[in-house]
Structure 1
Amino acid sequence: MTPITQNSSQLPRFRLLLVWGLMMVSGIGILVNLYRLQVTQAPVLEGRARRQQMVYLRPFVPRRSIVDRNGNVLATDRPAYTLYAHPKLFKMSKGEMAALLAPILGKSSTDLEKRFNQKQSGIRISYALTEEVADQVARLQANGLELIQQYSRLYPQQDLAADVVGYVNVDHRGQAGVEYSQEDVLERAVRTLRLSRAGNGALMPDHVPEGFLHFDDLRLQLTLDSRLQRAARFALKQKMDQFGAERGSVIVMDVRDGSLLAMATEPTYNPNQYSKFDVARFKNWALSDLYEPGSTFKPLNVAIALESGAIQPDNMFNDTGQIQLGQWQIANFDFESKGGHGLISVSKILEYSSNIGMVRIIQQMKSKVYYSWLERLGLGQKVAIDLPFEAAGQLKSERRFTAGSVNAATASFGQGFSLTPIQLTQMHAALANGGKLVTPHVVQGLFDSKGQIHWQPRRPAPRSIFSPKTTQAVIEMMENVVRQGTGKNAQIPGYRIAGKTGTAQKASPTGGYYSNAKITSFVGIFPVESPRYVVLAVVDDPKGKDAFGSTVTAPIVKSVVEALISIERIPPSQPIEPTN
């Protein structure tokens, strides 16, 4: 039997103390770590947990639709799909996959196979696929294909109203027309959603507010009438093709409030395929480009002279056919063939479109007085239309304008200053509505599906320029232009139409005028007995010896007014005389 020594009896006690010590140290460590986790680092860890458990999403909300005044859709959002390919996940060869997809996508199988060889994953094959095509791809149930849903903008009327409506880019942002100027109205308000995430990463809708995907049914309604817009574009294009013109524009305005029923420019573009067109077509030159109006400005000058008291409607003026002002010689457009018209009335001056007669009229006013009237009309300013990229007209400074008599003389027949077609339309609307400048616009407001208005833009109050007595006198003179003057081609049997032709020299950007280019125009006011509409047609650089305002643009206005009569069911002004 082995005797028990003192050292052997102390070994268990040492082990016990060692284990106890380790346990104490571990316990203290655990307590320290618990304190660190639950006290010191608690806010940080809590935030990290929230980020892991919750996800914040901003859902894509479609833009509001754009409709014309009758509710016809001009622009709307529709579901679309982007197709991605991940070749590393294909269960078939790349060639077989390409052959499978090619007929569905309308692409070459060779091109698709080349795309598949670019990289192993994340190859964008097609953008903005329709639901029908996406369904065909989905039915393939092929591994390695991924469809991502989004929205694309659809313009059902294609190029009909592109000049006004505009288009959106691939990021769904407006780039032209009301798509750009009314971006804030077309974009719906979107809330960021907080969703819970399950342990497997799936989203749980416990924090989704009830009805968050219930979008309002509001639509942006325009003043345009698609039927009249179509008639205006057809008439414009027909004459442009006939005379080989560079470009043209037609504007129809309701003179009571400035609402535009039609605004067509050519050449235009299809907003569904905007990337295929020259960027120069995206601007609406009826409000972005300046030109010298020529004789279509003469009725406004007559109104200025009448309103200021410089002349009376029955005054007579001597038209000598040409005059010399310093070093400048001014002549009528028909001087070489007809010479002067002699002593003629103010009405005959407009009827013959006499430059010399207009110079005589404006010479009855002091240059400073005349200049102040041009400023009062708004020359040199913008009309503040609700479309983007409008250009302000150009008018010389008062010091330069009044430095010599030639500036007032050339301005009397519409040269030496420039404006946009929309501004000329606004000014003639003032003649038609009794003397008030109204703000041209294309936006009516936001309407729901029941026709109730929810928002309407505020516009400046009309500004009085002329008296009704003055405008009535000028309208009657303009009616004679259509009845027996240069505007005969705008006549419509049974209807009273006032108008004025214009065939102006085309100004060169480098100064002076082109020797072989002109701008033809015609402005019509209808019906004379109760003026309601102004129709302006402008055609840039028509070709041919017979290209004048009377032959190119007056027939355009006639066609548009005929469409207007049919659409609005306007009764004849007087009994229609039977034809033999």
Structure 2
Amino acid sequence: MAHRQLARLTSLATQRQRGFHPRQRSLASTPRLRSRRHRRQSPAAPRWRLTLVWASLVVAMVGIGARLIYVQIHQGDSLRQRAQQQQKSSPTPRALRHPIVDRRGNLLAVDQIVYTLYSHPALFKQSYHQVATALAPLLETSPAQLQETFGQQSTGIKLADELSPERRDRIQALQVDGLELIPQVQRVYPQEELFAQVVGFINAEGEAQTGLEVALEERLAIPPNPASPQSSSLRLQLTLDSQLQRIAQQELQRTLRQYGARRGTVMVMDAQDGTLLAMAVAPTYDPNRYYEADLDTLRNWAVSDLYEPGSTFKPITMAIALEAGAVQPGDTLYDEGQLILGEWTIRNFDYAALGGHGTLTLTEILKYSSNVGMVHLMQRLQPATYYHWLQRLDLLNPTGIELPAEATAQLPSREQFLQSSVERATVAFGQGLALTPIQLLRLHGALANGGKLVTPHVVRGLVDASGELQWQPQRLVPQHLFSSDTTQQVIAMMETVVDSGTGQVAQINGYQIAGKTGTAQKVTTGGRYGTGRITSFVAIAPAEAPRYVVLAVIDEPWGENAYGSTVAAPLVKTVMEPLLVMTGVAPSNPEAINGVE
């Protein structure tokens, strides 16, 4: 008995320690209260909830995994394209550049804001059909095509680029949600092909590639924080004249088509200071669509490519001989038509038809373009003296023109020149040396201006709104080359070329023109002269007071009658006639203009 009581007391003490009271136990013994307590404390309830939560998480993870697989496998390409389009929709801001204008202020290059249009169909509040019907006329496409495009993806679809501000306004006026117009700066060339090789172009990334755009990139760039409003409104003004340039370009292209020629150039220079009024090059390209151009047309070959000038170099050799005192203006030389130097035979272009010309004055040597006469002229010069004069022509240095990639001439080495009579002979009539068209223009400029080597240039400088110069390129001091007596004598000889010699086709009523034709054989890849020709003609006007020099070079014209006199000389005439009128040059013989002598 005592033991049972002790056991009961011990049990009660234990229950109190656990938080139970004997009364609570007796109340809970009723069925209703026992059931309620069972629901609250049963371990099965938390286990069920945990299972439910765990199952939900598993289902969610499976769903996310399935979605990732679908996105990566089935939508990977479209999402990649969308990402690329969205990256393109936020282009890096392009640095602004000063406009470029010609000598009359006509725009040649200017920055312009253009827009790229993106669509986000997920944001449309109208149907695809309604949006496409409203937008199609502004994008010059069909509603059906637009609807199909909208269905490709839900956002970031590029619809058009290079949209003008006017077209942007018309698109915005539609008030369509889900259309986005992204502005960007684009360099625009209003004259299109006319000045392509001179001005150059900016590519889609905003990088200068050719022409003045790259040569004067630092000067053209507008600082992010200009020192004054005036500095951001400057313009780069060229010396070129759009009106004369257009005439030169059109006539050059016509000549190339007529003779099936490979390429050509026509340049007009004021010999007094080297100012270029026209610099036409063909074939050409549209810098607004540079990506469609052949690579060969992107460079200005009148500056960057060498050629053998042929007979247009003869007046320079004549001036060297006169200046060096090797001959006098009244001297004569014998032209036997052809001569042999070692294993080489040199003959005149008309030898087959006329044979030798016999005794010729210096003037007649140029008039008839006698190769043999020029060789005998050269033989009056000491070889070392002749080579020294070739070096004085400054052909191994750039002319200093502002255009990029300028080449320099190739001359025989001094040792080769002194030891080989053939080398000296061929150089005398313009073969055996190679120079650029701009270098030859500069040399004839020295004949026209009284003997100075000036710097050819196409840039006047940066000008403000009133046309006042704020910056001008530095130019070298003109080098003295020939005396005025020498240049006057050579100009007089070149007059006879146009009056009664090979350049008669270049005559202009009322004006005295000095000139020289050139037809040079082209060297093949094997190093020998082939059947290809490069024809040229250079003219100086007016002959009595020389001011302007016009040079045309036509590369590889086709036909048996393709010579400097038939191809290049007529071209120079078509450019020089408007030049003399535009610049107000008074005619030498006004009566001749009206057909009265």
The two structures share one fold, judged by TM-score above 0.5: yes
CA distance in 2, matches of 1:249, 1:75: 22
The question of 1:269 aligning with 2:285 is answered yes
The question of 1:318 aligning with 2:302 is answered no
Partner of 1:501: 517
Deviation at 1:87, TM superposition (A): 3.0
Contact 2:410 2:434 in 1 (8 A): yes
Q: Which amino acid aligns with 1:134?
A: R
The question of 1:357 aligning with 2:373 is answered yes
CA distance in 2, matches of 1:98, 1:231: 46
Partner of 1:74: 108
User: Secondary structure of the equivalent of 1:161?
Assistant: helix
CA distance in 1, matches of 2:136, 2:289: 22
Aligned positions of 1:475-490 closer than 5 A: 475-490=491-506
Partner of 2:175: 141
Partner of 1:258: 274
- Structure 1: state its 5+ residue gaps: 1-57, 193-210
Deviation at 1:476, TM superposition (A): 0.5
Q: Which amino acid aligns with 1:572?
A: P
1:417-450 Cα shifts (integer Å, max 9, x gaps): 1111111000100111111111111110011111
Deviation at 1:460, TM superposition (A): 0.7
The question of 1:87 aligning with 2:121 is answered yes
What is the aligned counterpart of 1:288 among 300, 304, 307?
304
Partner of 2:430: 414
Partner of 1:168: 202
Partner of 1:327: 343
User: Secondary structure of the equivalent of 1:78?
Assistant: strand
CA distance in 1, matches of 2:230, 2:141: 38
Residues 338 and 174 of structure 1, relative CA distance in 2, 3 Å threshold: same
Deviation at 1:348, TM superposition (A): 0.3
CA distance in 2, matches of 1:510, 1:333: 23
CA distance in 1, matches of 2:470, 2:511: 38
Deviation at 1:94, TM superposition (A): 4.6
Residues 133 and 331 of structure 1, relative CA distance in 2, 3 Å threshold: same
Deviation at 1:157, TM superposition (A): 1.5
Aligned positions of 1:148-547 closer than 5 A: 148-191=182-225, 216-515=232-531, 517-547=532-562
Contact 1:84 1:122 in 2 (8 A): yes
CA distance in 2, matches of 1:164, 1:145: 39
Residues 452 and 579 of structure 1, relative CA distance in 2, 3 Å threshold: closer
CA distance in 2, matches of 1:562, 1:253: 14
Contact 1:522 1:549 in 2 (8 A): yes
- Aligned residue pairs, count: 504
CA distance in 1, matches of 2:248, 2:344: 40
CA distance in 2, matches of 1:422, 1:136: 49
RMSD over aligned Cα, in angstroms? 2.0
1:479-517 Cα shifts (integer Å, max 9, x gaps): 1111110010111111111000001112223311222x2
User: Secondary structure of the equivalent of 1:221?
Assistant: strand
Contact 1:494 1:573 in 2 (8 A): yes
Q: Which amino acid aligns with 1:550?
A: S
CA distance in 2, matches of 1:213, 1:124: 36
CA distance in 1, matches of 2:176, 2:293: 36
CA distance in 2, matches of 1:437, 1:115: 63
Deviation at 1:109, TM superposition (A): 4.8
Partner of 2:52: none
Q: TM-score, normalised by structure 1?
A: 0.83
Deviation at 1:99, TM superposition (A): 4.4
Contact 2:269 2:548 in 1 (8 A): yes
Q: Which amino acid aligns with 1:553?
A: A
1:465-485 Cα shifts (integer Å, max 9, x gaps): 111111111010001111110
Deviation at 1:110, TM superposition (A): 5.4
CA distance in 1, matches of 2:307, 2:517: 15
In percent, how many aligned pairs have the same letter? Answer: 52
1:235-288 Cα shifts (integer Å, max 9, x gaps): 212222221211110000111111110000111111122222212211111111
CA distance in 2, matches of 1:212, 1:484: 60
Partner of 2:573: 558
Residues 557 and 95 of structure 1, relative CA distance in 2, 3 Å threshold: same
Residues 492 and 123 of structure 1, relative CA distance in 2, 3 Å threshold: same
CA distance in 1, matches of 2:221, 2:211: 15
Residues 94 and 563 of structure 1, relative CA distance in 2, 3 Å threshold: same
CA distance in 1, matches of 2:231, 2:114: 18
Partner of 1:17: none
CA distance in 1, matches of 2:526, 2:131: 59
Deviation at 1:303, TM superposition (A): 0.5
Contact 2:400 2:475 in 1 (8 A): no
Contact 1:291 1:507 in 2 (8 A): no
User: Secondary structure of the equivalent of 1:268?
Assistant: coil
Residues 120 and 65 of structure 1, relative CA distance in 2, 3 Å threshold: same
CA distance in 2, matches of 1:406, 1:71: 51
Deviation at 1:382, TM superposition (A): 1.9
Residues 486 and 140 of structure 1, relative CA distance in 2, 3 Å threshold: same
Deviation at 1:389, TM superposition (A): 1.4
User: Secondary structure of the equivalent of 2:112?
Assistant: strand
Deviation at 1:339, TM superposition (A): 0.3
User: Secondary structure of the equivalent of 2:249?
Assistant: helix
1:70-95 Cα shifts (integer Å, max 9, x gaps): 11111112221111222332334556
CA distance in 2, matches of 1:545, 1:60: 53
Contact 1:85 1:122 in 2 (8 A): yes
Contact 1:166 1:271 in 2 (8 A): yes
CA distance in 2, matches of 1:345, 1:113: 82
Contact 2:460 2:472 in 1 (8 A): yes
Deviation at 1:392, TM superposition (A): 1.6
Deviation at 1:59, TM superposition (A): 7.2
Deviation at 1:61, TM superposition (A): 5.7
User: Secondary structure of the equivalent of 1:220?
Assistant: strand
Of 299-308 and 87-96, deviating more is 87-96
CA distance in 1, matches of 2:118, 2:294: 29
Contact 2:271 2:446 in 1 (8 A): yes
The question of 1:103 aligning with 2:137 is answered yes
Deviation at 1:402, TM superposition (A): 2.1
Residues 116 and 388 of structure 1, relative CA distance in 2, 3 Å threshold: farther
Partner of 1:130: 164
Of 211-220 and 381-390, deviating more is 211-220
Q: Which amino acid aligns with 1:106?
A: E
Report the structure, 1 or 2, having the larger helix content: 2
CA distance in 2, matches of 1:365, 1:563: 41
Partner of 2:5: none
Contact 2:93 2:184 in 1 (8 A): no
Q: Which amino acid aligns with 1:72?
A: N
CA distance in 2, matches of 1:185, 1:342: 59
